[in-house]
Amino acid sequence: MLLDIVGLRVQLGDHLAIHNLSLQLAPGERVALVGGSGCGKTTTARAILGLLPSAQVTAQRMCLNGLDLTNASAGQWRRVRGGQIALVLQDSLGALDPLQRVGSAIAEVLVLHRSLSRAQTVHEIDELLRAVQLDPGDGIASAYPHQLSGGQRQRVGLALALAGRPQLLIADEPSSALDGDRTRNLAELLRSLCQGRPGWPQMALLLISHDLRLVAATCQRALVLHHGVVVQEGPVAEILAQPQHDATQALVAQAGLDVERA
């Protein structure tokens, strides 16, 4: 098991944001965490990445490849973040340094997590751009973020996340700024990346989204969160066919999917 979480609780002040969440992810598996705004999706991702104060996060078990994340040291977290777990943020423009060229940003990640020569770094930048379906010949590596389209910036953010060759990719609402065609292309790209490439580790995906259309096109399983509690989970097709909880039914209706109600 790549990621094994049992009994996760996140306490934010007087508010219990996540209550008794359990989540398992196998290598190469694609799982979605879905729910409306404020349900706890992003809070869960931040807990998995160790981005919340340790006093706020408790779990019976939270392990990545056998490493106990609840007791990980600062040095272990530096190796985990970006190396074993990578994050793609919702705001592609805000996630990129406006004063840094794309190639320089990717090179920083390569230096931090991998020991490559200068020539290898240049080659790897081109390979990463190709992996996210950007043409290195288009001058992407020498461009600043504001010189790119929204779709290009989103793919650059994905290339940055992939630079450490993570085993788990967490994508937080990655389609929020994309139109329908680009969202479908993104779903296809995420599926293909999880299938693996020569020399790359098999990568699991945790997709955070309120969009069941994107989830249906991308993931195998889903967990539906409502007020910090998992109210339904299972294969995506089963959840769409039998949305048992009011929160699930609302998401199905919002996506405009015509399914049989349980």
| pLDDT for res 262 | 33
Looking at the chain, the number of H-run helices and the number of E-run strands are: 9, 11
| pLDDT for res 19 | 95
| pLDDT for res 258 | 54
| pLDDT for res 260 | 44
By CB atoms closer than 10 A (0-12, 13-18, 19+), residue 244 is: middle
Sites in the chain below the pLDDT cut of 50: 259-262
CA distances in angstroms from 257 to 50, 82, 175, 197, listed in the order given: 35, 35, 18, 33
| pLDDT for res 90 | 75
- Say which amino acid occupies 172: D
| pLDDT for res 179 | 66
CB 145 within 8 A of CB 160: no
| pLDDT for res 174 | 82
